[in-house]
Chain A
Amino acid sequence: MSGTYLGMPAFPEAAREAVGNTTLRGNLRHATHTIRAKRATAVAEVSDWAELREAGKRIKDHTLRHLDRYLVRLEESVTAAGGVVHWAADADEANEIVTQLVKMTGESEVVKVKSMATQEIGLNEALEAEGIRAYETDLAELIVQLGKDRPSHILVPAIHRNRGEIRDIFAREMSEWGRPAPEGLTDTPAELAEAARVHLREKFLRAKVGISGANFMVAETGTLVVVESEGNGRMCLTLPETLISVVGIEKIVPTWRDLEVFLQTLPRSSTAERMNPYTSTWTGTTGGDGPSTFHLVLLDNGRTDTLADEVGRQALRCIRCSACLNVCPVYERAGGHAYGSVYPGPIGAILSPQLRGTGSEIDASLPYASSLCGACYEVCPVAIDIPEVLVHLRERVVQGGEVTREGNKVVLRPAKGHAAERAAMRAARWAFTHPGALRTGQRTASRTRRFHPRTLPGPGRAWSGTRELPPVPAEPFRDWWQRTRGGKDGDR
C-alpha cells in the first residue's frame, strides 16, 4: 500500500487519543449498535445462512488456490467482451496506468465510485499531482473529501461524523468544488442529501471519464459487479465515455452462478438489507449502452505476498462487507482512524500488516489491536478466522521468520519492542528444564513475598500499569504437596 497514512502513530497511541474524544465515541456507538441490530434481523430471515457462508468461503478459497488460472481466464473473457486489461504490481504502477489512461482522453476531471482499491493506492492524490481532479460521488466519500478527512469505515466512511458536522462541512466547502450548498442549509439528513444531489449532478452530467472498483469479477464471463445504494455508482458506470476499473486480483469468482451466494450474503452483512438498492453488472462494452471504452486494471500491491502465507491468505476472501467492524468492541471505541489504514477494524488489523508488511510501527501494532473475543469471526460471511490470523501475525511480529515481500522471500527480524518478552520466555524455558533451580526460585519468591512491589519495574512497567500483579502464594505447590500428602498418592 502507498504511504497514505505515513507517519501514523502505532495503534495504542492513536486509540488512546480517539477514546478521549466523546463526540467520536458517541457517533460510533450510535452507528455500530444500530447496524449491528439490523444485521442480525436480516441474517435471521435466511434459514440457510450457515450453508451460504460455507459456500462463500469455499468459492473464495478455491479461487485463491488457483488464482493464476482464474486471472488468465478473466483476462481472456474481458478482452473478448471488448475491454482492455492492464496489470499493476504495486500502487505506483496502478496510479501511473490510470493517469496515462485519463490523459489519453484529454480530460482533466473524473468522477469516482466509492472504491477501497483506489483509496488504498492513493489514486486521488496521484491524479491531483498530474493536474487531474477526481470527484468522489458517494455521499459519505464526498463528506470525507470535502472535510479534507480520511475514511473511518469500509462501508460508511463518514461514520465518525454527525449531522451537525456534515452540515458545517457542506456549508463551508462545497463552493470550493463546484455548486455551493444552498443558503440556510439545516442538518436534517434529507436536506443534506438533497444538497449533495444538486452539487454532484452537474458533475455527473458532464463527466467523460469514470473510475470505479468492483465487488466481484466473474472469470468465466468477464463480468464486473458493483453493488451500491445511491445511484452514484450507476451514474459513474454508465454516463461517461470511458470507464476505468481498478480491482484487486482477489476479487475474482469463477462462475456467473457464484454470484447467487454473494448477492445474498453481502447486502445482509453490510447494510443489513435484503438487497442493496442498486447492483450494476457489465461485461466489456455494449454498443450504445454505457461507456464505449473500458479498462480493467488488475492490482497486486501486496496481495500475492499475502497469498504466500498459508495461514494469512484467508484474509483475501474478504468481500468488504464491514460486519466485523460493527461488532468489534475495539473498533467501537477506537474508531477507524486509529488503524492507520484504509482497512480499519478487525479485517484491517489482519489485512494491512499483510499487504504492507510489518515494518512500520503502526503495522507491527495492528495484530494487537484486538481483544480476540471472536465476534468478528462469528459475523464474517466468508468465515475468515480473524483471531487465528491475529495470533499468527503476533507470532510473526515477536519472533520474526520467513515472509514474502514483493514476491521475494525475506527473513524478518524479531520486533524490537518485544525483547523483554522474549527474554522472559527464554528464562522460563531454562527454569522449567532445570527442576532444582525452579524449586529454589519458587521458595525464594514465597519467602520474600511481603517485599514484592505492586507494579513491575523496567520493561514490565507498561504491562502492570493496567493489570494487578498476581500475588505469589505463601508456599510453592510442590512444598504444599510434600507437606500434606507426603509426596504419596493419598489413600489410594
Chain B
Amino acid sequence: MNSRERILGRVRRALADVPRDDAPYEQAVSRDYAREHGQRSVAQTVELLAENLADYRAIVHRTDADGLAGLIAGLLDKRGAASVLVPPGLDEGWLAATGVTRVADRAESTPAELDRVDSVVTACAVAIAETGTIVLDGSPDQGRRRITLVPDHHICVVRVPGQVVSSVPQGIERLDPARPLTWISGPSATSDIELDRVEGVHGPRTLEVVLVGQGRIEST
C-alpha cells in the first residue's frame, strides 16, 4: 500500500462517526459576515485606501491622467534613480516624461541583474481600501512577481475609483486564483526584534502608490 492510500484510508476510518448525510458545504458554512464594513461613498472609499496605505508607511500621491507622467518622472528624479524596470505591457505614456534608463524584464534576466536596478513602476489589479492593500496579478502591465520584489523602490499606479474595492471579500471576488498573486500592504517590514517594527528587510523598502483619478485632480 502506498502512502497516498494509507493516509486516505486513515482519514476515512477516523471519520467513521460522520454521518453520510452530513450537511453539504453550502449549508455547513454561514456567510452572515459583512461584505464590507461601514457605509461609504466611492470618494470616501478611495480616501480610506489612501489613509490605510499611509498608515502602513506607503507614500501616497494623487494626480490625474494628464499629470501622471510628470509625477512619475519627479518621483524617480527625487529618488535619484538611474534605472527603472518596466513590465512589458506598461502604458508607454507613464514614463514619457522621464529620461531614466529603462530596463525591460526579460525571461533570462537573473535576480542579480534585477538587484542592480534602482526602481520599478507597475500598475495593479485591484486595491483594497479597508486593509490598505494593493494586489498584483502578473498581468502585462505588472510583470513577473520578482520585478516588484528585488528592486528597493516600487512605484505602483492605482486607477481610482475603478480599481478600488472596499473589502477583502470584494477583492477576492475580483481576482483570478489561476494567476500568481502578490498582495502588498505597505513596504516590507519586520517586528521580530522586540516587536519593534522595522521597514524593509527583503522586499522594497520604499513603496510609493500613485492614485490616478479620471480627468480632474482629486483634492488632497
| A, B assembled together | yes
Give B107's nearest chain A residue, CB to CB. Answer: A288
9-residue interface stretch from A27-35, A378-386, A415-423? A27-35
Give B169 Cβ to nearest chain A Cβ, in Å: 4
Q: Are A229 and B182 in contact (CB under 8 A)?
A: no
Interface pair A47/B178, CB less than 8 Å apart: no
Provide the residues of chain A in CB contact with B131, threshold 8 Å. 274-275
* A232 vs B201: C-alpha distance when bound (angstroms): 8
A260 to B204, CA, bound (A): 26
Q: Is the CB of B52 within 8 A of A274?
A: yes
Q: Would you give the 0/1 interface string for B120-164, flagging 1 where the beta carbon is closer than 8 Å to chain A? A: 000000001011110000100000111001000000000000000
How far is A87 from B4 in the complex, measured between Cα atoms in Å? Answer: 5
| A residues in contact with B204, CB < 8 Å | 231
Whether B6 contacts A407 by the Cβ 8 Å rule is yes
Residue among A139, A238, A282, A298 making CB contact with B7, cutoff 8 Å: A298
Chain A 426-443, CB within 8 Å of chain B: the 1/0 string? 000000000000000000
A238-B30 contact given A230-B203, A280-B182, CB 8 Å threshold? no
Chain A residues near B15 (CB-CB < 8 A): 65-68, 307
Give the contact stretch, choosing among A5-13, A54-62, A467-475.
A54-62
- Compute how far the CA of A274 lies from the CA of B198 in the bound complex, rounded to whole angstroms: 17
| A300 with B10, Cβ < 8 A, contacts A35-B195, A271-B191, A278-B184 known | yes
A100 to chain B, nearest CB (A): 14
> Does A370 belong to the interface (CB within 8 Å)?
no
In chain A between 254 and 287, which residues have their CB closer than 8 angstroms to a CB of chain B? 254-261, 263-264, 271, 273-283, 286
Chain B residues near A45 (CB, 8 Å)?
37
Is A234 within 8 A of B168, CB to CB?
no
A308 within 8 A of B: yes
B-facing mask of A243-255, CB < 8 A → 1, else 0?
A: 0000001000011
- CA–CA, A351 and B186, complex, Å: 34
Q: Is the CB of A277 within 8 A of B184?
A: yes
Which residues of B are found within 8 Å of A307, using beta-carbon distances?
10-11, 14-15
B10–A304 touching, CB < 8 Å: yes
Interface hits, B1-41 → A, CB 8 Å? 2-4, 6-15, 17-18, 22-23, 25, 28-34, 37-38
On whether the beta carbons of A235 and B29 are closer than 8 Å, the reply is no
Q: In the complex the two chains form, is B193's CB within 8 Å of A54's CB?
A: no
Per the 8 Å Cβ criterion, residues 200-250 of A in contact with B are 200-201, 204-206, 218, 221, 223, 229-232, 234-235, 237-239, 249
Most buried by A among B22, B181, B194: B194
**Which residues does chain A contribute within 8 Å of B133, judged by CB atoms?**
275
- Give the Cβ gap from B167 to chain A, nearest Cβ, in Å: 8
A129 interface residue (CB < 8 Å to B): no
**Least CB distance, A25 to chain B, in whole angstroms:** 14
A283 touches B180 (CB 8 A): yes
In Å, the complex CA distance between A27 and B194 comes to 8
| A197 on the B face (CB < 8 A) | yes
Instruction: State whether the Cβ of B91 lies closer than 8 Å to any Cβ in chain A.
Output: no
**Pick from B12, B112, B185, B186: contact of A205, CB under 8 Å:** B112
State whether A404 and B149 are in contact (beta carbons under 8 Å apart), knowing that A58-B29, A282-B180 are contacts in the complex: no
Interchain nearest-CB distance for A63 vs B (Å): 9
- A238 and B146 contact, Cβ closer than 8 Å, known pairs A55-B31, A221-B177, A286-B179: yes
State whether B194 touches A259 (Cβ < 8 A): no
**Which residues of A sit under 8 angstroms from B18, Cβ to Cβ?**
65-66
Interface centre among A61, A221, A280 (most CB of B within 10 A): A280
Contact A68 B12 (CB under 8 A): yes
| Beta-carbon contact of A279 and B195 below 8 Å | no
Contact A277 B186 (CB under 8 A): yes
Find out whether the CB atom of B30 lies under 8 angstroms from the CB atom of A55.
Answer: yes
Task: Please pick, from A55, A156, A280, A305, the residue contacting B192 in the complex, using a CB distance under 8 A.
Answer: A156
Q: Contact check, A229 vs B188: say whether CB atoms are below 8 A apart.
A: yes
CB nearest to B182 among chain A residues = A280
Say if the beta carbon of A355 comes within 8 Å of chain B: no
B191 close to A288 (CB less than 8 A): no
Those of A5-50 within 8 Å (CB) of chain B: 27, 30-31, 34-35, 45-48
Q: Is the CB of A286 within 8 A of B138?
A: yes
A289 in the interface (beta carbon within 8 A) = yes
In Å, the complex CA distance between A304 and B9 comes to 9
Q: Which residue of B lies closest to A65 (CB)?
A: B18
A196 within 8 A of B: yes
Q: Is the CB of A52 within 8 A of B33?
A: yes
State A54–B2 Cα separation when bound (angstroms).
Answer: 37
Q: A221-B178, A274-B52 are in contact. List 19 more A-B contacts (CB 8 A).
A: A48-B32, A51-B33, A66-B22, A87-B7, A88-B3, A89-B6, A93-B3, A197-B202, A218-B177, A232-B202, A239-B111, A249-B7, A258-B29, A280-B183, A282-B180, A283-B179, A286-B179, A289-B138, A308-B10
Query: Nearest 9 pairs between A and B by C-beta?
Result: A231-B203, A231-B202, A304-B10, A308-B14, A279-B183, A275-B131, A51-B33, A140-B192, A307-B14
List 22 A–B pairs whose Cβ atoms lie within 8 Å, in order of A's numbering.
A48-B32, A51-B32, A51-B34, A55-B32, A68-B11, A87-B2, A87-B3, A88-B3, A93-B3, A139-B190, A193-B193, A197-B201, A200-B202, A201-B115, A231-B203, A234-B202, A273-B56, A280-B181, A288-B144, A290-B145, A308-B13, A308-B14
